Amino acid sequence: MHDDLKKSYHEILTAVGENPEREGLLDTPKRAAKAMEFLTKGYRETLDEITNNAVFSSDADDMVLIQDIELYSMCEHHLLPFVGKCHIAYIPDGKVLGLSKFARIVDMFARRFQIQEQLTHQIAKAVEEVTGAKGVGVIVEAKHMCMMMRGVEKQNSKMRTSVMLGNFRHDPKTRNEFLQLVKN
C-alpha cells in the first residue's frame, strides 16, 4: 500500500502544478503516504483486537461517563479533516470495559474516511456490543475543515451528533442525566 500511496501523492503534486522534484517536496510523497497510512489505520483494526479482552465483571449498574475523548477523522466527501471530542456513557449490565478502550474504539472508527453521523453510530454500537450494556449514549462534537477551509468558509461552525441506545433512548430520565453531565 505504501508504494501505491507514494506514487499517487507524486502524481497529485504534479497534477496541481507543483514540481515533486524540488528540494522541499522531494520526500513529500513518502511522508504523505506514511501519514495517510496512519490516518486510515482504523481499516486495519478490529474491535476484538483493540479491546483485547479488557471486559471485566462488575456489580456497577449506574451510569459511567467518559467525556472529552479527542478525535481526529477525515471527511469522506472531501478527504479533509474534522476534529473534535466524543462523550460516551453507558449503563453496565454485569460488565465494564477498561477505560482506555473507549478512546481506542473512538480512534478505530475515526481513523477511517467518515461522516460524523456514521462515526457516532459506529461508536455507540461498538460499546453496546462489547459491554452488553443496558444503554449507551454517544455525543460527538466536531469542527469540519470542509466547512472552514473551502466552500462556505465558516470558521466557528460546529456539528453535534448523538446516538442513544437502550435505556438512553427509552428512558427520558437517563437521557437527561447524560445530557446534563455532558453540559456541566
Any idea which residues carry the catalytic annotation?
75-78, 116, 144, 146
DSSP state string for 77-142: TT--EEEEEEEEEEE-SSEEE-HHHHHHHHHHHHTSEE-HHHHHHHHHHHHHHHH--SEEEEEEEE
Q: Is the distance from CB of 69 to CB of 105 less than 8 angstroms?
A: no
* 63-80 b/e (C-beta count within 10 Å ≥ 16 → b): bbebeebebebbbeebee
